[in-house]
Amino acid sequence: MVLDQKSKKIYTVSQITHRIYETLDSNFSFIWVTGEISNFKAPSSGHYYFSLKDNKALINAAIFKNQQRNLKFVPENGLEVTGFGRISVYPPRGSYQIIFEYLEPKGLGSLQLLFEQTKEKLRQEGLFEEKYKKKLPFLPSKISLVTSPTGAAVRDMLKVFKKRFNNIEIEIYPVSVQGENAHKEIINALNDLNEKNDTDLIIIARGGGSFEDLMAFNSEDLARTVFNSQIPVVSGVGHETDFTIIDFVSDLRAPTPTAAAEYSVPAKTDLINTLNIYKKRLGFSLSKIVEYKKQNLRNTEKRLKDPQKNIEDTRLYIDENLSLLEKRVNNFISLKKDYIKTLEKGLTYKKLNSFYETNKNRFEYSYNSLIKNYGNFLEKKRFELDKNFYKLFELGPKNILKRGYSITRDYNTKKILRSVQTDVKQNDRVEVVMHDGTLLCTVNEIIRDEN
């Protein structure tokens, strides 16, 4: 090969790079490209950088921050995508790359991918766990409906509330349930309701629609707001087969708005029927308890003696013992006197002196024995007397009254009243004697025992 030095054209690196840029720009200004994402990076600048490859080649790619508003998902390694962009040359490195204006998942809609990505992210953070679910109030006094005020869903829910429990206060917090800013309005509503904290339950509801129509309820920010709500939240979005992100973070997911209303309040008729059943059971149980207590009282009453009779019996017992003791002592003394008189009649002084001298020791022994026995006898009887006196004291009226008893007497006659059937009538004045005083009362009503 012969080089013609006169005809040769020499390019600088910059010129070559510029010629390549012009060639690419003129032939590949905007193109559609498909491939698999690899080497994905998201630096603090907010731009996305990655490579797009197939089984034979690889090309660098980027999505600048101001173009990301068109993305409905977050790019990740291994994801096959199709995008629309322009080829650009980066002169400092002499490399070319695709600057994407639009990107979507291949084979899977971007909205569906965003849903799955958000769902998996929140699941890994534990926001779906059952332990974080708040218990719904059994019978809320106020329910706030975060929904469209003109939709069919709110009308159906109001019908359910009126039918099941029309006393509950229902607040409608109007929001958009579809559109780009709908999730922001719902977030503001939840924050406002939590700040006021004057409602017992929040229901987020909307009727059915396409997957795109329900995207407001798949917002990550809305899901976190629902999770952080201090007031229990019920989600009732779409039809039974529709699932949104807030269904997984709410405290209860209802398949439809109507079901959300049914789950939130019990039916008043059911509560009334249940209360009637409990009322009957309680009445039956109470009647059984009252009857048992009455029977127990009657049995106790039979076992208890009249305190006055106990006092009288004890007095009679003491009187009998004192009389018997006195009689025995008098008889003993009388016998000894008679014996002495007999001795006096049959004995002269001399004989008596001789007899005394002869039986002096025996007399002294007998005398001492008599004194001792008589002393023991008196001590024994004194002990019995003290014992009976103590019993009498224990059974005295005041001690008995201190145990909680009282004596009711007629005010005029001082007669003890023993029966409400025969001894007292309405407006009678009576005295209620207690251990530390007396109550003067007037009988206003007489309640007679049916038994």
Q: In what order do the strands lie in the sheet containing 201-206?
A: 169-174, 142-147, 201-206, 233-237, 252-253
Helix (H, G, I), strand (E, B) or coil at 432: strand
- The mean predicted confidence, pLDDT, of the chain is 82
Which pLDDT does position 402 carry in this prediction?
75
> What is the token pair recorded at 445?
């009503």
Which tokens is 189 given? 């509503």
Please, are residues 204 and 147 in contact by the beta-carbon 8 Å criterion? Answer: yes
Phi, psi of 32 (to 5 degrees): -95, 135
- In this predicted structure, what is the pLDDT of residue 200? 94
pLDDT score of 80: 82
What is the DSSP-derived secondary structure letter of residue 68? G
pLDDT of residue 353: 67
Contact 209, 237 (CB under 8 A): no
Q: How many CB atoms lie under 10 A from the CB of residue 384?
A: 13
Q: Residues 371-401: pLDDT tens digits?
A: 777 667 777 777 777 777 777 766 666 677 7
The pLDDT of residue 351 is above 80: no
Phi and psi at residue 103, to the nearest 5°: -150, 140
pLDDT at 25: 65
pTM over 0.75: no
Q: Evaluate if residue 2 carries a pLDDT over 60.
A: no
CA-based nearest residue to 219, from 243, 193, 183, 255: 183
Mean pLDDT of 189-204: 94
Whether 100 contacts 63, CB under 8 Å? yes
Q: What is the pLDDT of residues 6-24, one digit of tens each?
A: 566 776 777 777 777 777 6
- Residue 171 · residue 145 · CB < 8 Å: yes
The average pLDDT across 175-186 equals 90
- Of all residues in the chain, what percent carry a pLDDT higher than 90? 19
Give the separation between CA 215 and CA 177, rounded to whole angstroms: 9
**pLDDT for the residue 5:** 57
390 HSE (CA, 13 A, CB side): 6
Please determine, for residue 1, whether its predicted confidence score (pLDDT) is greater than 90: no
On the question of pLDDT at 97 being above 90, the answer is no
**pLDDT tens digits, 278-320:** 888 888 888 889 888 888 888 877 776 666 667 777 777 887 8
Q: Give backbone dihedrals phi and psi of 256, rounded to 5 degrees, phi first.
A: -145, 165
Q: Is the pLDDT of residue 441 over 80?
A: yes
